Structure 1
């Protein structure tokens, strides 16, 4: 189980590193991105492990990757300026 958690944390760290490298202009501080990636992966592994039991390790890692990706996507900012139109008076 410790290796499963370590693998999940490494997967989250790798996803965060890819996100920082490719989308740095749309993300907040890299430290926040790395912490969110690892925390999301550990939470995803916990939820998947709790739901499916101790058996399928690759499935738990897949759950960790999915939740980590979803967590990282919540940090993205819009690419361009938001155009807000005022309502006519």
Structure 2
């Protein structure tokens, strides 16, 4: 169980590092991105393990990767400036 959690945390760290290197201009501070990636992976591992039970190591890692990527995607900012149109009076 500890190795599963450690593997999920490393997977979240790798996903966060990949996001920082490829999308650094659209993400907030690096420490927040790394913390979100690790926390998302640990939460995903917890949810998957709770749903499937013990003994499903690869499924838990897959759940950790999915939740970590989803939580990292919530940090993305828009690429360009937002254009706001004023409503006619």
Q: Is the structural similarity TM-score above 0.5? A: yes
**What runs of 5+ residues in structure 2 fail to find an aligned partner?**
none
Q: How many residues align?
A: 89
> What TM-score, normalized to structure 2?
1.00
The equivalent of 2:8 in structure 1 is: 8
The equivalent of 2:85 in structure 1 is: 85
RMSD: 0.2
The equivalent of 1:21 in structure 2 is: 21
> What TM-score, normalized to structure 1?
1.00
The equivalent of 1:47 in structure 2 is: 47
The equivalent of 2:61 in structure 1 is: 61
**What runs of 5+ residues in structure 1 fail to find an aligned partner?**
none
**Which runs of structure 1 show a deviation greater than 6 angstroms over 4 or more consecutive aligned residues?**
none
